[in-house]
Structure 1
Amino acid sequence: MNAYLILVCLISLSAAFAYVNHRFIKLPFVIGLFFLATVLSLIVISSRWWDVIHYVQIRDFLGRIELSEVILDIMLGLLLFAGSLHTNWDNIKSQLKPITLFAVLGVALSTIIIGGAFYWVSGLLGLGVGLLHCLIFGALISPTDPIAVLGILTKANVSKKVESTIVGESLFNDGVGVVIFIALLETLKLGNPEIDFSHFGVLFLQEALGGLAFGLALGFSLHALLKSIDNYETEVLLTLAFVMAGYAVSNIMHLSGALAMVVMGLLVGNYKKDKSMSDKTQEYVHKFWELADVLLNAVLFISIAFVLVVIDFEMSYFVIGLLSVLIVLLSRLIVILIPKVLLPKMVNFNYKESAIIIWGGLRGGLSIALVLSLPESRGKDILVIATYCCVVFSILIQGLTVGKVAKYFSRP
């Protein structure tokens, strides 16, 4: 099956699931799609006992699809640009201190906490996952995903301060998480069981600072081009070209394409946009990227659910997967509460607002894509299952209850 037919299947399933969800189940959009796709995955898995031939064919087919490459090399840049384009910089700026703290130091601290706890638990279970693999798991599962939670928080009438913090943190911690992941992965590929902190530091600075600088350069260049003309068809096309080409060039230059797209999106969507785009152009640009965001997220969450089909089941792996959910939740609690206690002036949230931020830190497609991109090994198999357990719990349990949690803690 060629790439076009794969896309046809994904779009058709997305449309069918979206209709069934909206017509009958009425869950939030991406949660409903993920739930229905997971149900279909479980049906496919069960066919190993009643239709072995077709089960093997489907499993082999799904195993050949490079899902991580599609998400990391194509979809991630588009999604991050779309998300940042629609983000109000004034709201982000008002909470910039806690956002920066959570997105940078928070991700680094979360990586260490999750990695250390996972290493200890894997040792207790006799799985013996190496420390570097455990830290890689910490890096890939630490970034939060706003996609599934944003609409729910809006309906729950949470404060703009809380909503802006969750959105801003998730936009930037995706980039930071990817940078830490890449630096750790490059260290792993060197074959040295111990972490080379100097090599890690150089890679981190190159990816992070280079990505931020490149994003600014792209943003100002795109702003200048948009300002020089007034034709919405051309301007929409320019935004698409800058995202696709800019993200590709970032990867070639070993810069953080994720951070570059976030910076470019924020700049284009906020910096003197009335001078660079007419009202008509702004309407078309925002509608185009809003539609692209919905479509890409539908395909993304459908794809994630089918990871379940290609996982090799082993009971001890699922035990550590369930324990990983507890580790990730505990890490989120520590990462949010420690800055609040130690730096109350910088992190100006009460405990009710902190509870919403803690429970609203969902994990999503980025984590799945990163773990699938790891080199083949027994450690990867364990991390894939642990990551999938965390994402399933995050989307289906936290995603479905975060609205109630937000309403409960938002009461006077």
Structure 2
Amino acid sequence: MSYESIILILFVIASFVSIIAKRINLPYTIALVAVGLTLGAMHLLHPPSLTQELLYSIFLPPLVFEAAIHLRTSDLWRDGLVISTLVIPGVVVSTLVTAAVIVPISIHYTQIEVITWSVGILFGAAVAATDPVAVVSLFNKLGTPRRLRLLIESESLLNDGTSIVVFILALQFIQGSLGSPQTAVIDFFRIVGLGLIVGSIIGLASAFIMHHLDDAMITITLTTVAAYSSFLIADKLGVSGVMSTVATGLIIGEKGLSEVLFPIY
């Protein structure tokens, strides 16, 4: 069976899962995970392999952009202290806790190759920057307070900067090329800061053009171009594509275009 047919079948199954989950009052994301695990265990379908390029370049930009476009910079400033605590100390603690769990486990079970602390921290940094798509979807269904959703979404969008720095430091330590703390700080501002600058430029240019358009379809198309171009251009320049896409989404959302693009959000 071709990959196109398998993807179509998976979309059909996901649609049926959504209908059934709604009828039995079960969160859609939980039902989808359960059905997915069942299909995987039964080996009925063999979906295409998810490569790094597919996930990083195709799926990630629109997810990040869609979340950023609904945020407001005024809300971010208001809860800046709480969000910063979650983004920096929170991610670092999460990274260390992950390492503290997997390192003893690898030592205790002799059939597993022993994982050093540096490798454990490297792995912890890779998984610390979580994405709460399923959680936010459940929040929307349950009608949780808007501020709680804001904190979760903001932390998810901004935690990549911290995890990138920790990951780079751990990787450089493993490779024996760890520089000074000053170098790490410079890398942080270069990766995150320049990513924000690239995204801001693309966001301002896109918002300016959109304000002079009166065609919703063209506006949606231009928004898609802005989301992907901000990510890909920043990535090609060696800076954070995620931060660039966040900046583009925030600027376009701040210009009041989210109501045009997502009127029923």
Q: TM-score range by the shorter chain?
A: 0.7 to 0.9
Q: Secondary structure at the match of 2:219?
A: helix
Query: Are the aligned partners of 1:84 and 1:269 in contact in 2 as well (CA < 8 Å)?
Result: yes
- 1:14 aligned onto 2:14: yes
Query: Partners in 1 of 2:2 and 2:167 — Cα distance?
Result: 30
Query: Are the aligned partners of 1:26 and 1:32 in contact in 2 as well (CA < 8 Å)?
Result: no
1:11-52 CA-partner distances (Å, limit 9, x unpaired): 2332232233234x43222222112111222223xxxxxxxx
What's the TM-score, normalizing by structure 1? 0.56
- CA distance 1:117–1:204, change in 2 (3 Å): farther
- 1:167 aligned onto 2:166: no
Equivalent positions of 1:326-341 (< 5 A) are none
Q: How many residues align?
A: 261
Equivalent positions of 1:67-78 (< 5 A) are 67-78=51-62
Structure 1, 71-80 or 108-117: larger mean CA deviation: 108-117
Query: Partners in 1 of 2:243 and 2:249 — Cα distance?
Result: 10
Aligned-residue Cα RMSD (Å) equals 3.0
- CA distance 1:255–1:2, change in 2 (3 Å): farther
Query: Partners in 2 of 1:283 and 1:160 — Cα distance?
Result: 17
Query: Partners in 1 of 2:155 and 2:245 — Cα distance?
Result: 15
Shift of 1:263: 1.6
- CA distance 1:115–1:263, change in 2 (3 Å): same
Q: Identify which of 128, 134, 141 aligns with 2:120.
A: 134
Shift of 1:238: 0.7
- 1:228 aligned onto 2:204: no
Shift of 1:7: 3.3
Query: Partners in 2 of 1:82 and 1:154 — Cα distance?
Result: 15
User: What letter is aligned with 1:227?
Assistant: H
Unpaired stretches in structure 2, ≥5 consecutive residues: none
- 1:30 aligned onto 2:13: no
Task: State the partner residue of 2:136.
Answer: 150
Equivalent positions of 1:32-47 (< 5 A) are 32-44=31-43
1:281-313 CA-partner distances (Å, limit 9, x unpaired): x5441159x6xxxxxxxxxxxxxxxxxxxxxxx
What's the TM-score, normalizing by structure 2? 0.83
Q: Secondary structure at the match of 1:148?
A: helix
- CA distance 1:180–1:43, change in 2 (3 Å): farther
User: What letter is aligned with 2:164?
Assistant: V
Higher RCO (Cα < 8 Å, 6 or more apart): 1
Shift of 1:78: 0.6
- 1:121 aligned onto 2:121: no
Query: Partners in 2 of 1:287 and 1:75 — Cα distance?
Result: 22
Q: Percent identity at matched positions?
A: 21
Task: State the partner residue of 2:85.
Answer: 101
Equivalent positions of 1:339-358 (< 5 A) are none
